[in-house]
Structure 1
Amino acid sequence: MSKKVIFRILLALAAYGIFVLLVVNFYNDDPANMKWEDREAFNRQYISKLQLDNFTFEQALENLGSPDITEAKKVENVNYQVMFYRTQHVKSDGITTQEECTPLLFSNGLLTAIGNVAYEQFKSL
């Protein structure tokens, strides 16, 4: 191989490496900026890894972004908030409904239930 070909290959690899570094360091992978299909997949995957009593309200806002739907109430000095994050597409009407979301129940800022049971617990308080 000639030196010209080797030089061009090394130059291309260096340019590719710089491009990868720029994307990794500067691409903002914020759920709020995702397409709805990507956000649903991201939310499903992220929520599936959550552990009860080991995830806070603040972490939800930071990592999942603003909820699609939320409800809150205070019962006997305990603050309860249920946050709904869209995780499955049901109907193409431009409106996100509870049936298209996975609820997360927080008690005093700590995750205590996930899924339909979370909303049932919230309603029964």
Structure 2
Amino acid sequence: MGLGLYALIATSVIMFYKDDPQAMIWQDREAFNKRYIEKLRLEDAFTLNAVLEYLGSPDLTYAKRDGEQVWQVIFYRTQHKTSDGITTMDECTGLLFKNGQLIMWGPSAYEKYLEQNDGTI
């Protein structure tokens, strides 16, 4: 009976418990972020709010307005480089949003964010 109850509780936790990135140790959160970002597809039309809801607060974020356009690049830590207690851009993967819609991610997202005023995006 006890084994059956344990199996039921364990199954319920696995099925219904949502991972909370904010409560994870940094190694687990890093792996969680990386797995999520690796699964992104532009065809799925991800929004800023959807990413924030799933991954939680970003490690770094930058935003600006260019006329009617709002550009935001957020960074989530996905690879450990230096044990100094500081998360830097080279330890993160950037996600670029235009008016709240994901348009690109990866190493070039920040460069595109910086270029956006010259009309190249």
Using structure 1 for the length normalisation, give the TM-score.
0.85
Q: What is aligned with 2:102? A: 111
Q: What is aligned with 2:91? A: 100
Output one character per residue of 1:53-90: Cα deviation in whole Å (capped at 9) or x when no partner.
61000001100100000000011210000000000000
Q: What is aligned with 1:64? A: 55
The residue type paired with residue 53 of structure 2 is E
1:42 aligns with 2:26: no
1:51 and 1:28 map into 2 onto residues whose CA distance is 22
RMSD after superposition: 1.6
Bigger radius of gyration among the two: 1
1:116 and 1:80 map into 2 onto residues whose CA distance is 17
The residue type paired with residue 107 of structure 1 is K
Task: Give aligned-pair identity as a percent.
Answer: 52
The residue type paired with residue 67 of structure 2 is E
The residue type paired with residue 86 of structure 1 is R
Q: What is aligned with 1:87? A: 78
Q: Please list every run of 5 or more consecutive structure 1 residues that lacks an aligned counterpart in the other structure.
A: 1-10
1:18 corresponds to which of 8, 12, 33: 8
